[in-house]
Amino acid sequence: MTTLLEAPPAIADLPARKIKRQNRLAWIAKHSIAIVLVIMFLTPVIYLVLLSLMTSNQALTSDYWPNTWHPENYVKVFRSTPLPHYLLNTMIYAVSSTVLTLASSVPAAYALAKLKFRGRNALFLTIICVMMLPPQVVTVPLYLMWARYGLTGSLAPLIIPALFGDAFCIFLLRQFLLTIPSEYLDAARVDGCGEWRTLLRVVLPMARPGIAAAGLFQFFYCWNDYYGPLLYTSENENSWTLTLGLASFRTVHHVDWNLVTAATVLAMAPLIIIFFFAQRAFVQGITLTGFKG
């Protein structure tokens, strides 16, 4: 065992200057790797943006840089394709699903985190099971269920389930609510607040960051969802969302890669903008999904 007094030989043998140089070399190496990685991570997005600003002919070549700039591609893609319609459907899906999911999940998460009742652990484990369930397992029965009510071909099968909570959202909110000290709730109860009032008046204001994170996740999930819209809306183009439209775009407007990429950029831009405004809530939310080490 080395004691504190014995300097470890590996370091003691090195003159101070050499250590300094080694540190500087390590610093340069680490930052070089990081910069190379930055280039690799950013290139696809930058390239996509550049491509969306080319003429349709140049977009077929292997050029990186537009000869002439065509920002009007973005207007064109709005005017000459059903993109606005896809965008509207995606907005309807994402906004209503997010609002309804939060409204139905917050009370359940609160009960799981702060109320004592029989079967609480069993319910929590069930929710983890639901969260882990690949959606494909229940696809056929659910599809038949929606078809029986004549709702396939519309956005309804995507939005209605949001009324009944979302497993991941409940899980995330519960993890967040556990971090709120119970003393605050007890104080409210002593003051005569019922559980619902405690939730609305005391817990909700304190849980804002967690609710923001859960809402963002739900919004992003809906915005990016491809499997759901493919399953339920592909038979009716009027209900197509952005993702479904994008995947079919290339074949409908097959030569115009510049327009395809313009539409692709438009599909990702809102998410990146939202992220920059809500970065903290987001990172905190992701951290909550991982479990305590």
Partner 1 sequence: MSAIRLRRSLTTLSFLAPALIGIAVFFVYPLISAVYFSFTKFDLLSVPQWVGLDNYKRMADDPFLLQSVRNTLWMVAVFVPARIIGAIGLSMLLTQLRRGAGFFRTVFYLPALVPPVAATIAFVYLLKPGTGPVDHFLEKIGISGPLWFNSPTWAKPSLVLLGLWAIGDLMVIFLAAVLGVPESLYEAASLDGANAWHRFKSITLPSIRPVILFAAVTGVIYTLQYFDQAAVAGSIASGQATVGAGISQSFGYPEGSTFTYPLWLYTVGFRYNALGYANALAIALFVVALAVTVILMRRAKAFSGEES
List the interface residues with partner 1, window 38-57 (CB under 8 A).
Answer: 38, 41-45, 47-48, 51
List the interface residues with partner 1, window 18-37 (CB under 8 A).
Answer: 30-31, 33-34, 37
Q: Is residue 275 part of the contact set for partner 1 (CB under 8 A)? A: yes
The residue range among 16-24, 77-85, 207-215, 282-290 that interacts with partner 1, by the rule CB under 8 A, is: 282-290
Give CA–CA dist 123/106, Å, rounded.
15
> Nearer to partner 1 by C-beta: 17 or 148?
148
Paired tokens of 151: 């709702």
Within 10 angstroms of residue 107's Cβ, the number of other Cβ atoms is 18
Q: Is residue 278 part of the contact set for partner 1 (CB under 8 A)? A: no
The residue range among 17-25, 68-76, 204-212, 242-250 that interacts with partner 1, by the rule CB under 8 A, is: 242-250
Q: Is residue 170 part of the contact set for partner 1 (CB under 8 A)? A: yes
List the interface residues with partner 1, window 113-142 (CB under 8 A).
Answer: 115, 117, 123-130, 132-142
Give CA–CA dist 177/101, Å, rounded.
17
Which parts of 82-119 fold into alpha helices (H)? 83-114
The residue range among 69-77, 80-88, 204-212, 260-268 that interacts with partner 1, by the rule CB under 8 A, is: 260-268
Give the per-residue contact string, 52-81, with partner 1 (x = CB under 8 A; - = no). Answer: --------xxx-x-----------------
List the interface residues with partner 1, window 221-240 (CB under 8 A).
Answer: 223-224, 226-227, 230-231, 234-235, 237, 240
Please, which residues have CB within 8 angstroms of residue 235's CB and are 6 or more apart in sequence?
152, 153
Contact 240, 234 (CB under 8 A): yes
Contact 73, 88 (CB under 8 A): no
Paired tokens of 235: 């038979």
Number of residues that bind partner 1 (CB under 8 A): 107
Which parts of 162-202 fold into alpha helices (H)? 167-177, 182-190, 195-197
Contact 259, 76 (CB under 8 A): yes
Paired tokens of 69: 């700039």
> Nearer to partner 1 by C-beta: 17 or 254?
254
Q: Is residue 194 part of the contact set for partner 1 (CB under 8 A)? A: yes
Q: Is residue 293 part of the contact set for partner 1 (CB under 8 A)? A: yes
- Min dist. Cβ of residue 8 to partner 1 (A): 3
Paired tokens of 47: 């390239």
Q: What is the DSSP letter of 167?
A: H
